[in-house]
C-alpha cells in the first residue's frame, strides 16, 4: 500500500514541479528577453500558474496521501521516508496560505520588480517606494500567517535557511564585526594596491568569450544550460539538465563580468549536480541558500581569486587583452584582483568588506519586518549605515538602495545566507584540500575536475537529504565554524599585504 501511495505522491510532486519550473521559465524570460509592453500580461500569466501550483501542492487528497505515508511508510526506503518527511513539513507551511494570498503575492512581486527596474534606470527611489511598501506589508502579513517564536523575521528566514534564527545570526554578525573590522582596518593601513589595469577598456565580445571559456573550464555543462545578459546576474534551473546563468558586462570594469560568471557558475554546478532521477522531490533540490551560496563563493573566492587558478588562466587572459595586460605580471594581477577597500556595491565588493554589505541589509530587513524602519526612509537609513560601517558616501539611489534585486522579489531573509555561504565555503575547501592532497597543483594546471567530483560526491548528490548543519558535520566532521574563514583570509592576505 505504501509503495502505491508513494507512486501517487511522486506523480503529484512532479506535476507540481512542472508548473513551478514553467513559472521559472517565464521569470527567466522576464529578466532576459521580455519587451516592456509585455510586463502586465506576464504578471498575469505567472500569477495564474502560481495559483495552479499552490492548488496542486495543497490539495486535500495529496495531504491525505502524505499523512498516510508518514504514518504507514515502514516499507519505504530511507530516501523515500526522508522525502515524505520534508514534503510533509513543506505542505504544512504552504497550506497556511490560501490561493488568493499566493496570487496576490505573485502579482505584487511582479509589479514591484518592474518598478525596481524603472527606478534603477531613472535613479529615482520614489518610483519604487509605493509598491515596495505594499510588498513589505504583505511580507509582514506572511510572517504572521506562518507563525514564529521571538521575532517575525524568523518566519521568513525559514524559507531560505531552515533553522536559522535572529538570535543565532545576531551572534554571528557580532563575531564577524568584531573579528573582521580590525583585520580589514589593519589591511587598509598598508600601502594601497594598484588595480587600475582592471578598469581599462575591455571589449564586451572578448570579455564574453573569456567568461564562456572559464565556465567550461570549471565544469559548467553548456548542453544542460546557457548564459545570457541581465541587469543583475542570477542562476535559475528548470531541472538538473537545464540550468541557466546570466552575467553583466562593463567594458571599463573587467572584474564585473569575470567574477559574476564564476559565482553564478558555482551555483549552476550545484544545480547540475543534483540527482535528476529525483526531479520534483526534496532529495532532488538544494539544502539551503547558505549551502547553495557556499558553492558559488567557493568557486568565486577560494578558487577563482586564488594564485593557483590564475597561474593556469592568466596567460590566456593576457593573450585576449595584450594592450591592457601584457606588462602586468601575474603577481601584480593576483594582488589587484584581491585588493581590499570599502566600496558602494555589494556584488563588486572584496571578500572582507562584503560581509559589512550583508550586515547592513540584514539590519534593514529586520527593521522593516519589525516596523522600526519605514520604506520611505530607506535611502536615508541605507546611506547612514554605509557611512557608519564602510565609511563611504552614497552618491545616488542607483548605487545605493536600488542596487539589489532581492527586495523587489520579496526575498526577505535571503541576504544572511550570503555570509553563511562564505563561511561554509572556507570550511568545505579546507576539507577538500585534506581529502585531495594535490588539489592545489591540479588547479595550477587548469584542472579543477577532481574538486568538482568531490563536491558532487560530498554535497550535490544528497539534495535535501541532510539539513545544512548535518551536511556540514558529515563533510567536515564538525558544525559550521567561523574559524575556517578567518584562517583562510589570514593566510591569504598576510602574503598579499605583508601583514
How does pLDDT run across 303-352, given as a tens digit for each residue?
999 999 999 999 999 999 999 999 999 999 999 999 999 999 998 889 99
**pLDDT on residue 15:** 96
Rounded Cα gap, residues 490 and 323, in angstroms: 34
Q: Which of 95, 110, 144 is the last residue of a domain?
A: 95
Task: Tell me if 161 is assigned to some domain.
Answer: no
**Quick one: 91 and 172 in the same domain?**
no
**Quick one: 43 and 170 in the same domain?**
no
Cell of 216: 567550461
Q: How many domains does the chain have?
A: 2
**Quick one: 213 and 327 in the same domain?**
yes
Domain span holding position 370: 166-496
Per-residue pLDDT at 1 exceeds 70: no
* Per-residue pLDDT band at 80 (split at 50, 70, 90): very high
- Cα–Cα distances in Å, from 307 out to 16, 228, 495? 45, 28, 11
**Quick one: 331 and 431 in the same domain?**
yes
In 3-state terms, what secondary structure has residue 389? helix
Task: Tell me if 131 is assigned to some domain.
Answer: no
**Quick one: 74 and 180 in the same domain?**
no
- Mean pLDDT, the chain, rounded, equals 94
Residues in Cβ contact with 95 at an 8 Å cutoff, skipping those fewer than 6 apart: 58, 63
**pLDDT on residue 232:** 80
Rounded Cα gap, residues 242 and 244, in angstroms: 6
Task: Tell me if 154 is assigned to some domain.
Answer: no
**pLDDT on residue 242:** 97
Which among 264, 271, 293, 300 is annotated as catalytic? 264
Q: Which of 36, 66, 95 is the last residue of a domain?
A: 95
**Quick one: 192 and 62 in the same domain?**
no
Q: Which of 296, 330, 298 is nearest to 313 (CA)?
A: 330
- What is the tens place of the pLDDT at every residue in 233-288? 899 999 999 999 999 999 999 988 999 999 999 999 999 999 999 999 999 999 99
Q: Whole-prediction pTM value?
A: 0.89
Whether 323 is catalytic is no
**Quick one: 358 and 457 in the same domain?**
yes
Q: What percent of the chain has pLDDT over 70?
A: 100
**pLDDT on residue 51:** 87
- What is the tens place of the pLDDT at every residue in 455-497? 999 999 999 999 999 999 999 999 999 999 999 999 999 999 9
Q: Which of 77, 95, 113 is the last residue of a domain?
A: 95
Task: Tell me if 108 is assigned to some domain.
Answer: no
Task: Tell me if 151 is assigned to some domain.
Answer: no
Q: What is the mean pLDDT of residues 362-370?
A: 96
Task: Tell me if 160 is assigned to some domain.
Answer: no
**Quick one: 172 and 89 in the same domain?**
no
- What is the tens place of the pLDDT at every residue in 125-159? 999 999 999 999 999 999 999 999 999 999 999 99
**Quick one: 319 and 436 in the same domain?**
yes
Which CATH number fits the domain that encloses residue 383? Answer: 1.10.1370.30
- What is the tens place of the pLDDT at every residue in 168-207? 899 888 888 888 888 988 898 888 899 999 999 999 999 9
Task: Tell me if 71 is assigned to some domain.
Answer: yes
Task: Tell me if 124 is assigned to some domain.
Answer: no
Amino acid at each position: 500500500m505504501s509503495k502505491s501511495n508513494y507512486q501517487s505522491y511522486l506523480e503529484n510532486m512532479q506535476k507540481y514541479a512542472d508548473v513551478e519550473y514553467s513559472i521559472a521559465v517565464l521569470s527567466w524570460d522576464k529578466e532576459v528577453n521580455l519587451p516592456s509592453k509585455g510586463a502586465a500580461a506576464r504578471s498575469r500569466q505567472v500569477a495564474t500558474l502560481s495559483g495552479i501550483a499552490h492548488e496542486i501542492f495543497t490539495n486535500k487528497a495529496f495531504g491525505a496521501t502524505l499523512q498516510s505515508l508518514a504514518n504507514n511508510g515502514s516499507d519505504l526506503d530511507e530516501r523515500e521516508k526522508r522525502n515524505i518527511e520534508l514534503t510533509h513539513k513543506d505542505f504544512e507551511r504552504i497550506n497556511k496560505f490560501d490561493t488568493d494570498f499566493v496570487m496576490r503575492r505573485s502579482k505584487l512581486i511582479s509589479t514591484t520588480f518592474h518598478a525596481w527596474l524603472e527606478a534603477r534606470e531613472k535613479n529615482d527611489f520614489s518610483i519604487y517606494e509605493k509598491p515596495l511598501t505594499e510588498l513589505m506589508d504583505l511580507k509582514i502579513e506572511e510572517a504572521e500567517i506562518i507563525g514564529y517564536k521571538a521575532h517575525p523575521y524568523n518566519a521568513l528566514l525559514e524559507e531560505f535557511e531552515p533553522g536559522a534564527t535572529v538570535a543565532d545570526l545576531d551572534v554571528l554578525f557580532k563575531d564577524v564585526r568584531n573579528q573582521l573590522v580590525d583585520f580589514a582596518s589593519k589591511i587598509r593601513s598598508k600601502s594601497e594596491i594598484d588595480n587600475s589595469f582592471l578598469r581599462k577598456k575591455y571589449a564586451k565580445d572578448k570579455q564574453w568569450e573569456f567568461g564562456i571559456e572559464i565556465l567550461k573550464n570549471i565544469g559548467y555543462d553548456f548542453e544542460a544550460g546557457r548564459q545570457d545578459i541581465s541587469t543583475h546576474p542570477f542562476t535559475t534551473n528548470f531541472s538538473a539538465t537545464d540550468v541557466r546563468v546570466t552575467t553583466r558586462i562593463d567594458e571599463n570594469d573587467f572584474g564585473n563580468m569575470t567574477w559574476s560568471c564564476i559565482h553564478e557558475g558555482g551555483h549552476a554546478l550545484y544545480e547540475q549536480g543534483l540527482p535528476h532521477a529525483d526531479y520534483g522531490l526534496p532529495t532532488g533540490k538544494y539544502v539551503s541558500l547558505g549551502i547553495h551560496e557556499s558553492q558559488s563563493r567557493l568557486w568565486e573566492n577560494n578558487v577563482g581569486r586564488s594564485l593557483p587558478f590564475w597561474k593556469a588562466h592568466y596567460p590566456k587572459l593576457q593573450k585576449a587583452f595584450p594592450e591592457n595586460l601584457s606588462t602586468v605580471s601575474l603577481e601584480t594581477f593576483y594582488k589587484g584582483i584581491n585588493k581590499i577597500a570599502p566600496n558602494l556595491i555589494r556584488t563588486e565588493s572584496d571578500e572582507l568588506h562584503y560581509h559589512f554589505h550583508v550586515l547592513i541589509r540584514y539590519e534593514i530587513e529586520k527593521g522593516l519586518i519589525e516596523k522600526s524602519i519605514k520604506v520611505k526612509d530607506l535611502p536615508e537609513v541605507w546611506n547612514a549605515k554605509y557611512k557608519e560601517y564602510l565609511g563611504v558616501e552614497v552618491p545616488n539611489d542607483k548605487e545605493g538602495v536600488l542596487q539589489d534585486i532581492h527586495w523587489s522579489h520579496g526575498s526577505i531573509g535571503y541576504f544572511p545566507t550570503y555570509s553563511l555561504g562564505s563561511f561554509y565555503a572556507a570550511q568545505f575547501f579546507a576539507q577538500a584540500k585534506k581529502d585531495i592532497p594535490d588539489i592545489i597543483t591540479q588547479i595550477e594546471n587548469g584542472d579543477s575536475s577532481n574538486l568538482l567530483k568531490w563536491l558532487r560526491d560530498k554535497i550535490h548528490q544528497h539534495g535535501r537529504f541532510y539539513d545544512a548543519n548535518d551536511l556540514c558535520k558529515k563533510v567536515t566532521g564538525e558544525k559550521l565554524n567561523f574559524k575556517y574563514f578567518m584562517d583562510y583570509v589570514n593566510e591569504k592576505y598576510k602574503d598579499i599585504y605583508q601583514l
